[in-house]
Amino acid sequence: MTATDPLSPLVLVVEDEPQMRRFIRTFLGAHGYRVLEASTASEALLLATSHNPALVLMDLGLPDGDGISLTRSIREWSKTPIVVISARGREDDKVDALDAGADDYLTKPFGVNELLARMRVALRHASTAPVEQELDLGGLRIDFARREVTRDGQPVHLPPIEYKLLTLLARHAGKVLTHRQILKEVWGHGAQEQAHYVRVHMAELRKKVERNPARPEWLVTEPGVGYRLRDRSVGG
Amino acid sequence: MPTNVQNSHRPTERPDPDALLARVQAAAAREQRAKLKIFFGFAPGVGKTYRMLQVARELAQDGVQVLVGTVETHGRQETAALLQGLEVLPRRVLMAGNVVLEEFDLDAALLRRPRVLLLDELAHSNVPGMRHAKRWQDVLDLLEAGIDVYTTLNVQHVESLNDVVAQITHVQVRETVPDSILERADDIELVDISADALLQRLQDGKVYVPEAAVRATQHFFQRGNLLALRELALRRTAERVDADVLEQRADQGVNAPWPTSERILVCVGPSPASARLVRTARRLAAGLHAKWFAAYVESPLRPLTEAQTQRVDAHLRLVEALGGTVVRLVGAQPSAALLAYARTNNVTRIVIGKPTHSRLRDFLRGSLLDEVVRGSGEIDLHVMAADSGSVAEAPPQAPRAPLKLGAFGTALAVVAAGTSLAWLGRAALALPDIVMIYLLGIIVVAVRTGIGPSLLAAAASVAAYDFFFVPPFFTFAVSDARHVLTFCTMFVVGVSMSTLMVRIRRQEQDARAREARTSSLFALSRDLSSARDVSNVAAILCDHVARGFAGDVQVASGGDGHLQPLAQTGAWPPDSTDEGLLQWVAAHGREAGLGTATLPGSRALCLPLPEHAEGRTVLAIVPQSGEPLDGQALASLQAYVRQGALALERARLATAVNAAELRAKTEEMRSSLLSAVSHDLRTPLAAITGAATTLRADERTLNPIQRADLVEAICEESERLERLVVNLLDMTRLESGQLRVKREWVPLEELVGSALNRLELRLGAREVSVQIPAGLPLLHVDALLFEQALLNLLENAVKYTPADSPIEIHAAQVPAGVEVAVVDHGPGLPDELAGRVFEKFVRGSHVGVSGAGLGLAICKGILDAHGGTIAILPTPNGGATFQLTLPPTRGPAATSEEGTTQ
């Protein structure tokens, strides 16, 4: 079970519940990750600086200080992907953590497949892989170089702003982006009062890109948080 | 002094049980509260301090904790000897420039909390910078803190006797003690020696006389003076004894001859003699056991100067200090206002001053005294002499309108125009017509300008009339004496008109000011009536006071010495001394600060609001001018504060009632919730536990299919448990009112898409058709909550309809807003559930369907929170349609494509 290959990715698990740690430790070990555990924010910061993990999995509700400030402290010197875990109904916390530099989030209770998918996406975006020229999401193809989008072989014509929106999500395929992040990247400012810009253009984009806009396959809404371009190749 | 005895007494043999009870309670309260003992003497040197120390020593010997606050031995050996062995409180040392001042340390005494504190010279004025201006105020604080106080007092320091003493001795004593303190005293011990013995002691050098005061004191210590003072002191003590005896008799139901209930009204004005009137009224009232009032009549016709206003305020403060009730009346006719008040309030005697002005003024303006005498009817009148030493009063100067040269120009222009007109028409006009033209001109000038220009117009008119129209023409000579009469008439008319106009204008200004005050108070009460909670009330009060009195305002509340600001104006300056002031007012419930007797050096004036369970609320104002408020403004502020206090009380009650209701509701909900969900919680838990333990115990005997089945069961039941917990939490949040609706502009498509996405697994292959018209406006809703409502409806449809029946979602814009319908084609709503589906824990009794019956209740809660409605209708051809209606909203700012150019 405990694959101790020194080359396998090291995951720092920050979680104060022993039962949750036990479950994650067992599960990650079985999937070939090395696991480092911390139960407090200060301990986590110490381990993060000394071991430089490949990924941090962090519960937002920590007994000493909140995960959001821990995220900020780690972001001050490291680009290590951070996936936060939080309870349902705390969407504002998740948005804050994501805006503070976290890469993705999971809502408790979560299934292991969901966890693996999030970790894979986060690790993939962290690796300095060359920028892809083309993205194929099983029917939806985006050719970045030619600025072309096709669905099921048919070209899709997008106005500049919707193309920008789609490519932004595509570059972060599988990863959640908050309303503010999208506003800032596409519109150049992050005024929260204009969050409905994103929603309106997203609805337009869906009408053009999705097979059934009412039940989107790719452009999924993360309620209360933002949007994610679903990438089935990583299981998300 | 039993001030309320005469009110409660009834002329029957048996004492009134209520009154008796009140007396018993008062006696019990007196037992409880701290005692004030005053050693009362008629002059310095009679041995008050000596006697006080004697008593204190006896107490100390009995083991009572006695602390000496201050004692002036004045170098007397015997007195100093008595001090031996008593604990003396160190004095507080203050530096005032290069001068070192020492003063009784009130705070240290309050901290030490002795049983009995000795404080010599009750009438002493504290050095500036102490908490109170006067020592007797310190004494009140000490008594309030439950410390018995022994103190000394000479008769000339009693406020109501002050002027009598001054008349006897010709020495004006400035340090006075209000009579209410003497009445508060539980015990007054007269320390008395004969006048001759006192003079002997003086000669023996036993009475300390400071060098500087030698002459005055020699004057003071004349035998005649001493005899008179002694008599005064004895009489004052006898009055007190008399009162005690009366109280005793009333206690025992003795039908004593009783003065009828007298009510005395004293008329107060700006004249310095009024202070004497007030004191006289106080003595008269005390002698008759009467309630007394002091009325000041404000006349809109004769506004007071600044100095006069201050004097009136001082007199009215004196009235309050002496225990009288202040009445401010308004009337053009002071006598009428006074008499009207006297009659409506059953006043039996009016005290009024003798006029000091000339008979001419009476002739011109009418005499207040005459009018009161004539109108008083059955009311007795006491006319008191004015003080011989009273300053001759300068006649009140009407506030002059600033002299405007333009107005004089206007006056001349009008006269010139009148002259031209008359000149042009001189052929047709007779002389009286020309006079009329000039009079008209004078009236125009009087109406438009002030007295000066009117006089000028009158004079110029006379001159012009004489010059141009009265023969001989073009000279000022007059040939006929009749014309002189015309001149006089013109002049008198001009003067009277302008005087009248000025008076009317002043009245109008006054009425406007009064109106402004009334309407601002009305505005306050109107705003307060709409206030919901305490902080709201405080904010409104703050705002109105700040605007009405031009200052920075804070309203704070709290008990146990911790004040929390409830509201304050933006520029409220934080300052530690203000804090102390607020604390003091909160603790004592009396006004203090700028312009009052307590902490007058503060920047802020602080007023208390009535006490309530959580402590006291206080209002503090720092006037922008830095000047104390005048009497009228203060009275007005007090009215504001009273209004505010009422509103606060109402808000507190409302809050308490709401809190109690909410508690009861929460409690009820919690218990019903517990009983209802315990079953739903246990079922999935039992399934999970069963499956997991089977896996653990029989790992070997199970085949792979069985194991997969059990694992699947654990997952499913966990999900079910989670849904239940989520629903419970949502319900609790909705019902507890803690739910915050975070509205955003969202397209309906997105909400539907997200809900369907979340339900993907459970929907399976079921057909779902979504019809949303292209032009549907954005919804202004909490995206998470509204999606939850849609999800619950969809879940409901999935649960209660066959797996192959389609589900439809459609939306439409209607006049009532936006309608969203979730339509299923299942069996429809069972009849027994009609009307109850949106209640908690109500669910259909389908076999194999689980749930706590919360989904639809949550939907309703969410729609309620959005101001929308939810209804259930039958679907044509069978099934149920859930229809959500959201009220119409104005759209958001256009989703322009700004900044999107590529």
Confidence label for B10 from pLDDT (cuts 50, 70 and 90): very low
Average pLDDT over residues B317-346: 81
Burial label for B179, CB within 10 Å (0-12, 13-18, 19+), is buried
How many C-beta atoms lie closer than 10 Å to residue B683's C-beta? Answer: 15
Residue B822: its pLDDT value, please? 93
**Is there a contact between A223 and B750 if contact means CB atoms under 8 Å apart?**
no
**Is there a contact between B750 and A202 if contact means CB atoms under 8 Å apart?**
yes
Give the pairing type, strands B87-88 and B880-886: unpaired
How many C-beta atoms lie closer than 10 Å to residue A50's C-beta? Answer: 9
Residue A191: its pLDDT value, please? 62
B788 and B862 Cβ atoms separated by less than 8 Å: yes
The DSSP call for residue B305 is: P
Residue A37: its pLDDT value, please? 93
- Degrees (nearest 5) of the Cα angle B818, B823, B829? 115
- What pLDDT, in 10s, does the model give residues B529-547? 877 778 888 888 888 888 8
- What pLDDT, in 10s, does the model give residues B868-877? 899 888 888 8
Average pLDDT over residues B494-512: 78
- What pLDDT, in 10s, does the model give residues B376-411? 878 888 888 754 433 444 444 444 445 567 888 888
Which residue in the set A203, A216, A224 is minimally distant from B784, CB to CB? A224
Residue B2: its pLDDT value, please? 42
Confidence label for B344 from pLDDT (cuts 50, 70 and 90): confident
Residue B6: its pLDDT value, please? 44
Distance from CA of B898 to the nearest CA of A (A): 8
Would you tell me which CATH number, out of the four given (3.40.109.10, 3.20.20.140, 3.30.565.10, 3.40.190.10), belongs to the domain B740-886? 3.30.565.10
A144 and A133 Cβ atoms separated by less than 8 Å: yes
Domains of chain A (ranges plus CATH)? 10-126 (3.40.50.2300), 134-234 (1.10.10.10)
Taking the model in full, what pTM does it have?
0.45
B608 and B637 Cβ atoms separated by less than 8 Å: no
Confidence label for A102 from pLDDT (cuts 50, 70 and 90): very high
Residue B651 has pLDDT above 50, yes or no: yes
Domain boundaries, chain B: 34-251, 263-384, 405-505, 532-649, 740-886
Q: Give the nearest chain B residue to A217 (CA atoms).
A: B757
With residue B169 as reference, give the H or E element that holds it.
Answer: helix B162-169
Bridge partners, residue A108, by sequence: A87
**Is there a contact between B747 and A200 if contact means CB atoms under 8 Å apart?**
yes
Q: Any chain B CB within 8 A of the CB of A190?
A: no
Distance from CA of B679 to the nearest CA of A (A): 22
Q: Do domains B263-384 and B532-649 have the same CATH topology?
A: no
Average pLDDT over residues B605-619: 77
Nearest to B782 by CA among B627, B650, B886, B660: B886
Distance from CA of B753 to the nearest CA of A (A): 5
Q: Report the alpha-carbon distance of residue B212 to residue A64 in Å, rounded.
A: 74
Confidence label for B884 from pLDDT (cuts 50, 70 and 90): very high
* DSSP string over B265-292: EEEE-SSTHHHHHHHHHHHHHHHHT-EE
Q: Any chain B CB within 8 A of the CB of A203?
A: yes
Residue B400: its pLDDT value, please? 47
**Is there a contact between A199 and B778 if contact means CB atoms under 8 Å apart?**
yes
B432 and B482 Cβ atoms separated by less than 8 Å: no
A227 and A182 Cβ atoms separated by less than 8 Å: yes
- CA distances for B242 relative to B245, B249, B286, angstroms: 5, 10, 11
Residue A166 has pLDDT above 90, yes or no: yes
Residue B560 has pLDDT above 70, yes or no: no
- What pLDDT, in 10s, does the model give residues B271-281? 888 888 888 88
Average pLDDT over residues B317-330: 81
- What pLDDT, in 10s, does the model give residues B435-491? 888 888 888 887 777 778 888 888 888 888 888 888 777 877 777 777 788 888 878
Residue B259: its pLDDT value, please? 41
* Residue spans of beta strands (DSSP E) within chain A: 10-14, 34-38, 55-59, 82-87, 104-108, 134-136, 140-143, 148-151, 154-156, 176-178, 219-222, 226-229
* Residue spans of beta strands (DSSP E) within B629-750: 744-746
- What pLDDT, in 10s, does the model give residues B209-218? 555 456 556 6
Enter the tokens of residue B538: 């405080």
What would be the CATH architecture of the domain defined by B532-649? 2-Layer Sandwich (3.30)
Q: Report the alpha-carbon distance of residue B558 to residue A124 in Å, rounded.
A: 59
B614 and B511 Cβ atoms separated by less than 8 Å: no
Nearest to B433 by CA among B444, B446, B423: B423
The DSSP call for residue B177 is: B
Distance from CA of B664 to the nearest CA of A (A): 26
Residue B8 has pLDDT above 60, yes or no: no
Bridge partners, residue B381, by sequence: B350
- What pLDDT, in 10s, does the model give residues A111-161? 888 888 899 889 888 776 666 788 888 889 999 888 899 999 899 999 999
With residue B45 as reference, give the H or E element that holds it.
Answer: none
Residue A193: its pLDDT value, please? 65
Mean pLDDT taken over chain B? 79
- Residues in chain A with CB shorter than 8 Å from the CB of B752 are 214
Residue B371: its pLDDT value, please? 83
Residue B394: its pLDDT value, please? 42
- Degrees (nearest 5) of the Cα angle B622, B626, B632? 80
Lowest mean pLDDT among A19-33, B216-230, B453-467, B808-822: B216-230
A65: left (phi over 0), alpha (psi -120 to 50) or beta: left
Q: Report the alpha-carbon distance of residue B517 to residue B674 in Å, rounded.
A: 58
**Is there a contact between A189 and B770 if contact means CB atoms under 8 Å apart?**
no
Q: Report the alpha-carbon distance of residue B153 to residue B48 in Å, rounded.
A: 8
Which residue in the set A91, A109, A221 is minimally distant from B753, CB to CB? A221
Count of CB pairs separated by less than 8 Å, A with B: 78
Higher-pLDDT residue of B326, A127: B326
Confidence label for B250 from pLDDT (cuts 50, 70 and 90): low
Which residue in the set B726, B729, B756 is minimally distant from A214, CB to CB? B756
Residue A50: its pLDDT value, please? 92
Q: Report the alpha-carbon distance of residue B723 to residue B721 in Å, rounded.
A: 5
- Residues in chain B with CB shorter than 8 Å from the CB of A223 are 754, 758, 783-784, 787
Q: Report the alpha-carbon distance of residue B476 to residue A146 in Å, rounded.
A: 110
Residue A36 has pLDDT above 90, yes or no: yes
Residue B146: its pLDDT value, please? 86
Which amino acid, one-letter code, is at B332? A
Q: Can you tell me the ipTM of this complex?
A: 0.84
Residue A66 has pLDDT above 50, yes or no: yes
Q: Report the alpha-carbon distance of residue B354 to residue B322 in Å, rounded.
A: 22
Assigned CATH for B34-251:
3.40.50.300
Residue B582: its pLDDT value, please? 81
Q: Report the alpha-carbon distance of residue A109 to residue A94 in Å, rounded.
A: 15
For residue B705, how many C-alpha atoms fall within 13 Å in the half-sphere facing its CB?
0
Average pLDDT over residues A100-117: 88
Enter the tokens of residue B749: 């498509």
Residue B113: its pLDDT value, please? 87
Q: Give the nearest chain B residue to A179 (CA atoms).
A: B744
Between positions 712 and 771 of B, the ones with CB within 8 A of A are 718, 722, 726, 729, 733, 744-747, 749-750, 752-754, 756-758, 760, 768, 770
B844 and B863 Cβ atoms separated by less than 8 Å: no
Between positions 99 and 118 of A, the ones with CB within 8 A of B are 109
Which residue in the set B733, B752, B778 is minimally distant from A214, CB to CB? B752
Would you tell me which CATH number, out of the four given (3.90.180.10, 3.40.50.620, 3.40.640.10, 3.40.190.10), belongs to the domain B263-384? 3.40.50.620
**Is there a contact between A223 and B778 if contact means CB atoms under 8 Å apart?**
no
Distance from CA of B894 to the nearest CA of A (A): 9
% of residues, chain B, pLDDT over 90: 5
Q: Report the alpha-carbon distance of residue B811 to residue B771 in Å, rounded.
A: 7
Confidence label for A202 from pLDDT (cuts 50, 70 and 90): very high
Residue A56 has pLDDT above 90, yes or no: yes
Q: Give the nearest chain A residue to B730 (CA atoms).
A: A89
- What pLDDT, in 10s, does the model give residues A69-94? 899 999 998 889 999 998 766 788 88
- What pLDDT, in 10s, does the model give residues B84-116? 888 888 888 877 777 777 888 888 888 888 889
Residue A20: its pLDDT value, please? 87
Bridge partners, residue B886, by sequence: B818
Is residue A222 classed as helix, strand or coil in its secondary structure? strand
Nearest to B884 by CA among B787, B773, B795: B787
Residue B830 has pLDDT above 70, yes or no: yes
Say how far residue B33 (Cα) sits from the centre of its chain. 28
Residue B894 has pLDDT above 90, yes or no: no
Distance from CA of B764 to the nearest CA of A (A): 13
B77: left (phi over 0), alpha (psi -120 to 50) or beta: alpha
Place of tokens 């307060």: B528
Nearest to B173 by CA among B197, B153, B147, B148: B153
B779 and B751 Cβ atoms separated by less than 8 Å: yes
- What pLDDT, in 10s, does the model give residues B12-66? 455 566 766 677 676 666 666 788 999 998 888 888 888 899 888 888 888 888 9
